[in-house]
Structure 1
Amino acid sequence: MNADAAHHTYAVQFDENNQEFSIVGSMRPQRAEDLAACAALFEKSLRSVKGNFYVNVKRLVRLNNIAFKVLADMLVKASGERPDLRISVITSSVVGWSTRKFATLRNVSENIVIEEYDSEFYPGQAFVEDSDIIGLLRTQTKMTWRHERNILPRHGVRPGMAVADICCGIGDFAVLFQKEFNPSRLVALDHSKPSLAYAREVASDFGVQGIEYVYGDASELLLEDNQFDFVTCRHSLQIFDRPELILQELFRICKPGGRVYVSNEKNSHCLGEPRGESIQWTYNEVAKIVAHFNHDIEIGPKSRRLMLDAGFSDVMMESFMVTNMDGDPQDFADIVEAWRDLFVGKMSSMRGDDPDFVARFRQGFDDHVFAALHPKGYAGWPIWVASGRKPL
Structure 2
Amino acid sequence: MSTISSSPAFTTQFDTSNQEFVATGVLRPRSIADIADDLLLLRDKIETVQGVFYINLKRVTHMNSTAFRALARVLVDASRSRPELKIVVLVSSVVTWATQMFRHLGELSPNISMEIYDSAFYPGQTFVESRSFIPILRTQTKMTWRHEREILQRHGLRNGMAIADICCGVGDFAMLVRKEFNPARIVALDHSTASLDYARSVAEKFCVRDIEYTYGDASQMLFESDQFDFVTCRHSLQIFDRPELLLKELYRICKPGGRVYITNEKNSHCLGEPRADSISWTYNEVAKLFRHFDMDVEMGPKGSRLLLDTGFEDVRIESFMVTNLDGDPQDFADVIEAWEDVYAGEMCVRRGDPPEFIERFRQGFRDHIFAALHPRGYAGWPIWAASGQKPL
Do they superpose with TM above 0.5?
yes
Distance in 2 between residues matched to 1:151 and 1:124, nearest whole Å: 27
From 5, 8, 14, the equivalent of 1:2 is 5
Distance in 2 between residues matched to 1:118 and 1:149, nearest whole Å: 32
User: Could you say what secondary structure the match of 2:197 adopts?
Assistant: helix
Equivalent position of 2:196 in the other structure: 196
Amino acid at match of 1:243: P
Q: Is the 8 A contact 1:52 1:88 kept in 2?
A: yes
Cα deviation code 1:1-31 (max 9, x no counterpart): 11134xxx21111111111111111000001
Distance in 2 between residues matched to 1:321 and 1:11, nearest whole Å: 46
Equivalent position of 2:239 in the other structure: 239
User: Could you say what secondary structure the match of 2:144 adopts?
Assistant: helix
- Deviation of the 1:96 alpha carbon: 1.0
Equivalent position of 1:266 in the other structure: 266
Aligned residues: 389
- Deviation of the 1:130 alpha carbon: 2.6
Distance in 2 between residues matched to 1:372 and 1:239, nearest whole Å: 26
Equivalent position of 1:63 in the other structure: 63
TM-score relative to the length of structure 2: 0.98
Distance in 2 between residues matched to 1:122 and 1:320, nearest whole Å: 26
Cα deviation code 1:161-194 (max 9, x no counterpart): 0000000000000001101100000000001010
Equivalent position of 2:292 in the other structure: 292
Cα deviation code 1:83-108 (max 9, x no counterpart): 00111000100101111110111111
- Deviation of the 1:202 alpha carbon: 1.5
Is 1:342 the counterpart of 2:345? The answer is: no
Amino acid at match of 1:181: F
Distance in 1 between residues matched to 2:378 and 2:7, nearest whole Å: 64
Say what the alpha-carbon RMSD is for the aligned residues: 0.8
Equivalent position of 1:96 in the other structure: 96
Equivalent position of 1:165 in the other structure: 165
Equivalent positions of 1:1-392 (< 5 A) are 1-5=4-8, 9-392=9-392
Cα deviation code 1:35-80 (max 9, x no counterpart): 1101110111011111111111111110011111111111111111
Cα deviation code 1:202-232 (max 9, x no counterpart): 2122232210011111111111111000000
Amino acid at match of 2:391: P
Distance in 1 between residues matched to 2:128 and 2:101, nearest whole Å: 29
User: Could you say what secondary structure the match of 2:7 adopts?
Assistant: coil
Greater shift in the superposed pair: 128-137 or 295-304: 128-137
Amino acid at match of 2:5: N
Distance in 2 between residues matched to 1:269 and 1:277, nearest whole Å: 12
Distance in 2 between residues matched to 1:290 and 1:4, nearest whole Å: 44
Distance in 2 between residues matched to 1:360 and 1:227, nearest whole Å: 48
Which consecutive segments of 4 or more residues in structure 1 shift more than 4 A?
A: none
User: Could you say what secondary structure the match of 1:2 adopts?
Assistant: strand
Q: Is the 8 A contact 1:27 1:60 kept in 2?
A: yes
Q: Which runs of 5+ in 1 are unaligned?
A: none
TM-score relative to the length of structure 1: 0.98
Amino acid at match of 2:388: G
